[in-house]
Amino acid sequence: MKKILVASSLTAMLILTGCATNSGPEYSGDSYQQIKTYEIGTVQSIRPVVISDNGTGTFIGAIVGTVLGSMVGQGRGSTLATLAGGLGGAYAGSQAAKANASELSVKLDDGRDVVVVVKGKNFLVGDRVKIIKDGNRADQVYRIN
């Protein structure tokens, strides 16, 4: 019974991690009070890219896989299942944490050409965009009219 409770709790935690109720832009916890600058331009070309895992998915997957693997077998079999669960979970977590994104080539209104990578948004060639910058980092990219 304890094993089922632990597995259910871990599964629920993974599903609910990162859920937000607001559909607006997302800022990191340490940058939301800083002054930012922005640039406006026109999308010239778009290329699909993949953003790799930053390590979080691998870490969480390894923990969950290790816990679930430890619930299988007895003796040496349990040790091997724990190891296999950790390795399998790490791989699955790293794959699950990858994200599809778009690399936008943008001609800024001041004539400069820049490239910015965005995930989760669909842009078209010719779209006017506002790139909100935090130093030299693109914080948000929006389509504007």
Phi first, then psi: what are they for 54, rounded to 5°?
A: -85, 5
The helix, strand and coil proportions of the chain, stated in percent and rounded to the nearest 5, come to 35, 30, 30
DSSP letter, residue 21 = S
Asked whether 31 and 139 are in contact (CB, 8 A), the reply is: yes
Global confidence as pTM: 0.56
Domain 34-52+99-145 has CATH 1.20.1050: no
DSSP letter, residue 70 = H
Read off the amino acid at residue 100: N
Q: For each of the chain's 145 residues, which pLDDT tens digit applies?
A: 555 655 565 565 555 555 556 566 665 656 566 788 899 999 999 998 877 766 776 777 778 777 777 777 777 777 777 777 777 777 777 666 667 788 999 999 999 999 998 887 789 999 999 998 888 887 888 899 7
What is the sign of the dihedral through the CA atoms of 108, 143, 128 and 116?
Answer: positive
- Indicate the domain borders of the chain: 34-52+99-145, 53-97
